[in-house]
Amino acid sequence: MVLAVVLSAGTAVAFTATGPAQTAPTAGADALADNGEPAQHNLQPGQAQTGEPTQTDNQSAAEVVQNARQSYGGIQNFNATLVSTTNTSNGTGSTDSVETRANISFEKPNNFRYEFLAPANQSGNVIISNGTSTLFYNEANNTYRTFSFNESTFGGMGATNLSETGYLDSINRTLTQSNVSYEGTATVADRETYVLSVEPTGIAANVTDNATYYLDQDTYLPVKTTTQASFSFGNETTSFESTTLLRDVRTNVDMPATVFDFTPPEGAERLESPLSNVSMSSYTSVEQARQNTDIRICEPSEIPGNYSFANATESSVGNNTSVTLRYTNGSDDPTAALSVTISDATTGQQSTGSGIGENVSIDGQSGTYVEAAGQGVLSFTSDDAQYTITGPFSQDELVSIAESIDCVAGGDDAADGADEPAADDTDAANSDTDTADDGDAAYYQVDFVAGDPIENFETEGTYANDRLLRFAHGSTDEPVMRRAPGMLAYGDAPELNERIESQEITIENDTAEITFTVDDGESVQLSLVSYEKVGPGWSPATEDKQEFIDADTRTFKSGTHTLTVDLPDKDSNSTAKD
């Protein structure tokens, strides 16, 4: 039979139960033996240690998952040795096998450390994170990279507790988006486990995937996980088989904070951060996004009835830029959102779709559709734009949404007018808040930076990624048109994100202001600086035409501080260079 269980607000899960519901053992994460070690079950006579499940009770999958979530709530930290073996076969008879071993440590809310033991070419490597910055150290090369991230930058995906981060997050996501059945019990390395068979829903026809989780009966941590997956492309099928073991698991141990500290050895070379050329900006309306990006934004006119526009995000990685329009139905669940991502197909390899999945037609255009874990993904190219539409919708629903995009469905007339306000936005376009057509407005940019301000972009260059912390763009008619989604500093100084907590730049009475807090440590020089721009948008081609207006630069120790600068007024709107 199938029963539905609500694990969290807005998340319904379907389980295939193998018997009547009974109460599962609830020893939980805090069950310890007298010596303080995690409690262990003794083997019964004749009980195998092969890990093969044996049906010994009428437990249900729903009960096991519920108890697992409750147990995770009681786990403050854990450490273990992870052993993972992956076999890959491409159908030609040859198989590649890789074994990875690492000592791992987790601690709430979001600290983790991986210290690799094998294979030999990775031994000594370290990955360590505190939830806002992550460091990768390569011992063989004596090099390291760091990057920072924050909740606002990555769409509110910041982790809040152990059961929603990293290793356990993948378990929760899989269990809540899959068909799960209870297979019985098994003994794995002297640990008694509940065995769950997991089959993700919505897997595409050319993709198969299934897994088996062996959850420790005390902690419900997966002491063993096996995964099988295969992907078919034409006549060739690639198969993956992976087994992951957690050995010597210890929960709620005395874990010093230094476990999550790492100082690279003397002489280690710092490499460029993988996010040093990444930037993201968020907008509260489609018109704001259009004014501040070179991407041609075309909207769908047909979206599900209970969905509405939430925000737009521009993402740039090097020379590749995309804009994502996000629509929500009021749910906080990010998997419930509808996303329409638009990128310039001329800046990369043009494709009719993702190359994976079923071929589909979108108003005569070729594309592909794939479905996995309850999410449909439709990809296609129209004119010089690449579209990817994602959400918990069927193929027919996503195709209907795609065909309602004016640049795709409306022919030349709609395409020619794609950059103009939609009919429903006529009033907004003619109002005094639409700065694109207001020749009397003065446009400005305000930057919160580390160090001294730049007064002349033409001769001094621009701010490096390790200096720019926040920014805001606006005009005398619309005080804030665009702002950074959070603290930046992705480059060589991610420690600024750790030491400085800032609010958004605010605009009022022809001045800009930012309030921030500096943690204990060495003094740091910070500046708030304003510039006048030649127009509402921004691009590298016009940055050197900005004119310096004002700066507030000071050196700060720990505490809460404020910086304030003047902004241009309407009478000064001819200051910036033409």
Residues 320 and 341 in one domain: yes
Average pLDDT, the chain: 74
Give bridge partners of residue 431 from the DSSP assignment. Answer: none
Residues 284 and 256 in one domain: no
Contact 327, 303 (CB under 8 A): yes
Look at residue 15 and tell me whether its pLDDT is greater than 60.
no
Residues 418 and 292 in one domain: yes
Q: Write down which residue in 394, 410, 430 finishes a domain.
A: 430
Domain of 356 in residue numbering reads as 278-430
Residues 251 and 150 in one domain: yes
Residue 269 domain flag: no
Residue 527 domain flag: yes
Residue 536 domain flag: yes
Residue 539 domain flag: yes
More confidently predicted of 185 and 89: 185
Q: Write down which residue in 387, 407, 430 finishes a domain.
A: 430
Residues 343 and 468 in one domain: no
Residues 447 and 405 in one domain: no
pLDDT in tens, 465-491: 567 888 888 888 888 877 765 665 444
pTM for the full predicted model: 0.51
Most confident of 99-103, 312-316, 344-348, 356-360: 99-103
Query: Mean pLDDT across the stretch 491-506?
Result: 72
Residue 183 domain flag: yes
Residues 423 and 443 in one domain: no
pLDDT in tens, 219-230: 999 999 998 887
DSSP code string of 349-392 = ---SS-SSSEEEEETTEEEEEEEETTEEEEEEEETTEEEEEEES
Residues 229 and 360 in one domain: no
Contact 447, 457 (CB under 8 A): no
Q: What percentage of the chain exceeds 90 in pLDDT?
A: 29
Residues 478 and 401 in one domain: no
For residue 237, give the CATH number of its domain: 2.50.20.10
Find, among 505, 543, 320, 299, the residue nearest to 422 by Cα.
299
Q: Write down which residue in 398, 430, 462 finishes a domain.
A: 430
Query: Mean pLDDT across the stretch 489-516?
Result: 78
Residues 484 and 448 in one domain: yes
Residue 42 domain flag: no
Give bridge partners of residue 186 from the DSSP assignment. Answer: 193
Residues 132 and 245 in one domain: yes
Residues 416 and 458 in one domain: no
pLDDT in tens, 24-63: 333 333 333 333 333 333 323 233 334 555 544 556 888 8
The whole-number pLDDT of residue 249 equals 93
Confidence of residue 16 (pLDDT cuts 50, 70, 90): very low
Find, among 278, 347, 364, 346, the residue nearest to 314 by Cα.
278
How many domains is the chain partitioned into structurally? Answer: 3
Query: Mean pLDDT across the stretch 310-339?
Result: 85
The whole-number pLDDT of residue 272 equals 74
Look at residue 545 and tell me whether its pLDDT is greater than 60.
yes
Query: Mean pLDDT across the stretch 84-112?
Result: 85
CB-facing half-sphere around the CA of 492: CA atoms within 13 A: 8
Query: Mean pLDDT across the stretch 523-533?
Result: 93
pLDDT in tens, 217-269: 999 999 999 988 876 555 667 788 999 999 999 999 999 888 988 888 999 99
Residue 40 domain flag: no
